Amino acid sequence: MSLPIPRKLIVLGDSGVVGWGDPEEGGWCERLRRHWMGLPNGPVLYPLGVRGDGLERVTARLHSEVSCRGELRRQQPQGILLAMGLNDCARVGRADGRPQLDADGFLFGLQQLLAQAKQLAPVLVLGLTPVDEAVMPYANVLWYQLDQVHRYEALLEEACLEADVPFLPLLNGLLQDPAWLQWLCSDGIHLNSAGHRQVYEVVRHWPALLQWADLQPLGISSVSL
């Protein structure tokens, strides 16, 4: 009797996908990978984050990352989840410096990335997480600001709407909780273990992702926040 071939999801992004800041469970993506691994016929998840990556670097490795993770001959991953953009919005050198990738370039590049990715597999996109402006600059050179994070998450949503790609906004939902600053590491940009847990809970109950994974919401156990 042949075993069913599990769906495979490639997650491309930055240090958030790596799980940086979460020594307890390895980040929201690793938590999701473990959760799915415990489910009957749960999808296989490949967390492919690189610290510091922005849109351009993610685009540069899209085809190579996807093409080598089919597992079986002539197979390709059945989904791509993109989680990047925070590094692109950081201003360089000073609080009013140029962004690492300006807004127009970010939107254009994102439109191109989504078009390429959709040729390979169904695509989903995550929004951005908050930053603590009071501890900037990061590494003495990068200024992360909430207004910029809002702007770039809006560009993510705009491009996804145009491309008919599911988008999960994160920023406003996280900021609505008075405790949101407690979910960040001391560097002001990386989520800590509590922050990764918050994102994980939102992502794993995302209807678009559950539909892609062929998982029923009622079959997912609920954890109180």
Report the chain (225 residues): mean pLDDT per 10 consecutive residues.
76 97 97 95 94 97 89 80 97 95 98 97 98 96 97 98 98 97 98 98 97 74 38
Predicted local confidence at residue 217, as pLDDT: 67
Is 42 part of a structural domain of the chain?
Answer: yes
Closest CA to 165 of 82, 51, 87, 105: 82
Give the integer Cα–Cα distance in Å for 64 and 100: 24
Find tokens 């069913």 and name the residue.
4
Q: Strands 123-126 and 91-92, how do they pair?
A: unpaired
CA angle 19, 138, 225 (to 5 degrees): 40
Is 118 part of a structural domain of the chain?
Answer: yes
Is 188 part of a structural domain of the chain?
Answer: yes
Predicted local confidence at residue 69, as pLDDT: 82
Is 225 part of a structural domain of the chain?
Answer: no
Predicted local confidence at residue 14, as pLDDT: 97
Is 209 part of a structural domain of the chain?
Answer: yes
Give the integer Cα–Cα distance in Å for 48 and 85: 15
Predicted confidence (pLDDT) per residue in 207-224, tens digit? 999 999 999 764 444 333
Is 206 part of a structural domain of the chain?
Answer: yes
Mean pLDDT over all residues of the chain? 92
Predicted local confidence at residue 136, as pLDDT: 97
> Rounded to the nearest 10 degrees, what angle do helices 146-163 and 103-118 cross at?
40
Predicted confidence (pLDDT) per residue in 76-85, tens digit? 889 999 999 9
Predicted local confidence at residue 3, as pLDDT: 59
First to last CA, the chain: 42
Q: Domain residues for 151? A: 8-217
Say which CATH number the domain at 40 has: 3.40.50.1110
Is 159 part of a structural domain of the chain?
Answer: yes
> Rounded to the nearest 10 degrees, what angle do helices 193-204 and 28-37 cross at?
50
| Total number of domains constituting the chain | 1
Predicted local confidence at residue 1, as pLDDT: 43
Q: What's the CA dihedral at 37, 39, 43, 49 to 10 degrees?
A: -40
Predicted local confidence at residue 5, as pLDDT: 77
Predicted TM-score (pTM) of the model is 0.92
Is 222 part of a structural domain of the chain?
Answer: no
Predicted local confidence at residue 224, as pLDDT: 36
Give the integer Cα–Cα distance in Å for 84 and 175: 18
Tokens read off for 136: 């900037």
